[in-house]
Structure 1
C-alpha cells in the first residue's frame, strides 16, 4: 500500500514559514538527494492555496538546469488538490469531501508513495486525521521567532518512531519518523 509522506522544511523553532509566508530561509543542498525522493513518489497532495502558488510553478529561464529538472520532476506527478471550492482544472483531481475514504482509495492504488506537499491547513487536517505514515522533516539552522508552526492545535499526541537521521553540509538535519500505530487511550 502507498504511504503518505510529509516532506517538509521547518526552522529550528518549529515554523514552516515566516510571519508573512516567507520561505526564503529554506536551503536546498545537492547532497539532500531530493531527486531520489521525487523518484520514490508518483502522487502529490496539495491544498488549494499551495497548488495555486506551486502546482504549476515554472522557474525562470535563467534557472539552473538542476532547478529546471526538479520542477519537471514535480510536474510529472499525479496531483490531487484538497479544497472546499469547486474549481475546474483538468491537470488535477479535486477532493472536497470525505477525505478519509478518498485518501484510503488512493493509497490502495498501484504505484509509488504520496508526497503530502501542504499547505499548513491541509497538513494540520492530515495530522489530526492520522493520515500521515512518514514524517520527513528537514530542520534548518535558523530561528524565526514567529510564523506558521508545523504542529499547532493538535487534537491529541502524535507518537513517532525515528527511522533515520541525515546531516547535510549546510547544517540541515533531516529526521525521518514513522507514525506510531494508534493505541487506545484510557481516560
Structure 2
C-alpha cells in the first residue's frame, strides 16, 4: 500500500511559512541542498529541476497534494507537472497539465490513493490540510531549518491536542544547520 508522506521545511518553532505565507527566509543554499535534491528530486518544481539538470524519476513520489494557498505560492500553473497534482479547494478551480482541483474530502481522496498502485504520495502543504490529514500520514520528512519565525503557519495548523507517536527512521545534520529527520508513524499492535 502507498504511503502518505508529509515532506516539509519547518522552523525550530514549528512554522512552515510566515503569517502571510512567506518562505523566503528558508535556506535554499548550502551543503544540505545536494543531499536533499539527490534523495527527494521529485519534490522540486519541474522547471527548477530542469534548470538544474536534475532527473525526476517519480521513484519516491508520483503524486503531490496541496491546499490552494500552497498551490498558488509559486505562481506556476503546474508547479510539479512531472507528478499527479491534486489541489484541494472548495471555491477555486484551475486547469493545467497533470493538475486536478477538487472539493472532495481530503481523507477520502487519500484513502483512495493509498489503494492505487504507485510510488509515495507527497503532502506538500499547507498546515490546515496537514491537520485534516494527520491521521492518514504514514511518514514525516522534516527539513528543520535553523530559524525562528515567532509567528506563521504551523506545521499542523489548528490540530487539537491528541498525542501520537512517530519513530525516528533517519536523521541527517548538515553544516548549514539544516537537519533532515524522517519519522514513521508508530502503529498500534494488532
The counterpart of 2:113, out of the listed 97, 106, 116, is 106
Cα displacement (A) at 1:87: 2.0
1:86–1:14 Cα change, 3 Å: closer
CA distance in 1, matches of 2:23, 2:184: 25
CA RMSD, Structure 1 to Structure 2 (Å): 2.4
1:34–1:57 Cα change, 3 Å: farther
- Tell whether the 8 Å contact from 2:6 to 2:139 is kept in structure 1 after alignment: yes
| Residue in structure 2 matched with residue 13 of structure 1 by the alignment | 13
Cα displacement (A) at 1:170: 0.8
CA distance in 2, matches of 1:54, 1:158: 32
1:151–1:94 Cα change, 3 Å: closer
Q: Whose relative contact order is higher, 1 or 2, with alpha carbons under 8 Å and at least 6 apart? A: 1
1:41–1:134 Cα change, 3 Å: same
Aligned residues: 168
Gaps of 5+ in 1: 59-70
The range that moved more, 133-142 or 90-99, is 90-99
The counterpart of 2:148, out of the listed 128, 138, 143, is 143
1:4–1:55 Cα change, 3 Å: farther
1:100–1:106 Cα change, 3 Å: same
| Structure 2 length-normalised TM | 0.78
1:169–1:52 Cα change, 3 Å: same
The counterpart of 1:50, out of the listed 70, 83, 93, is 70
Gaps of 5+ in 2: 43-58
1:99–1:16 Cα change, 3 Å: closer
